Amino acid sequence: MKNSTATTSCAWAPAHLLVEGATVSYGGKPSLRDVTFCVPVGTSVAVIGPNGAGKSTLFKALVGLLPLQAGHIVIHGLPLGHHRDCVAYVPQREEVDWRFPVTVTDVVMMGRYGRLGWLRRPGKRDRAVVAEWLERMGIGDLASKPIGDLSGGQQQRAFLARALVQEPHILLMDEPFTGVDVSTQEATLSLFETLREQQVTVLVSTHDLKLSATRFDQVLLLNRRLIAYGPARDALTSQTLAEAFGGQVLFVNGAVVVDKAAHVRKPYTE
């Protein structure tokens, strides 16, 4: 099936990130199948899809944690792996062992190791960058606290600071608004505006359709293949949402309601 609403050309702007024919499999079954899209420099993209749609798989492939069975990923015209520390990844909170005995500063400093190498000690600039982002994320007063003692929102801010001290060109955030307070969500969204000015490309997976339509430049609708990609008015239609979510999506008085608790995958079809 062709992705009729998917944008596969960045002729209208410089291609910062290009994904072509990306296929990732688990146990011989495709988790992502022939996904193609490109993201211009400084664009913010909301990645939407049901549970099991391949959103986390896509992010892990983009950061090099999962290999492609087919296709390729290009950043600044070069294959993935040619840009040290170019892509920063903030995983879902549930994937992190918060019992690990490290301080908030230790966690954020981990973001500098790609630039330092594991055998070099952090220098004056490294410590200054870490301190700056701790303050900018509103957790400077928590620097010496164990990371496990923080609230969900504070932990999210710490992991975002860890990603940003990498000084990345591309920031990936997997479900960053789940289980956090409103102030953390707003602080994160406001930060995206600053990152746009700095030409940092941002991809965020979320279940919030309204947020995706109002606070992001583009929407990428995914269910193991690309359903739609483009501005929200084009990507989030009744047809594309029904195709992506199946029985998990309802239309009530013109509004879209998605059952976020559903864990049933829509069967993959060609």
Question: Residues 14-56: pLDDT tens digits?
Answer: 558 999 999 998 777 889 999 999 999 999 999 999 988 999 9
Residues 67-115 have pLDDT tens digits of 999 999 999 888 887 666 689 999 887 677 767 789 999 999 988 877 6
Q: What is the mean pLDDT of the chain?
A: 83
Contacts of 86 (CB under 8 A, 6+ apart): 75, 76, 168, 169, 170
Domain boundary among 122, 151, 166: 166
* Percent of the chain residues topping a pLDDT of 70: 81
Same domain, 11 and 128: no
Percent of the chain predicted with pLDDT > 90? 55
Q: Is residue 35 part of a domain?
A: yes
Contacts of 175 (CB under 8 A, 6+ apart): 92, 93, 205, 206, 207
Residue ranges making up the domain that contains 218: 1-83+169-270
Please tell me what DSSP assigns to residue 247: G
How many structural domains compose the chain?
2
Whether residue 183 lies inside any domain: the answer is yes
Same domain, 194 and 236: yes
Give me the amino acid identity at 250: L
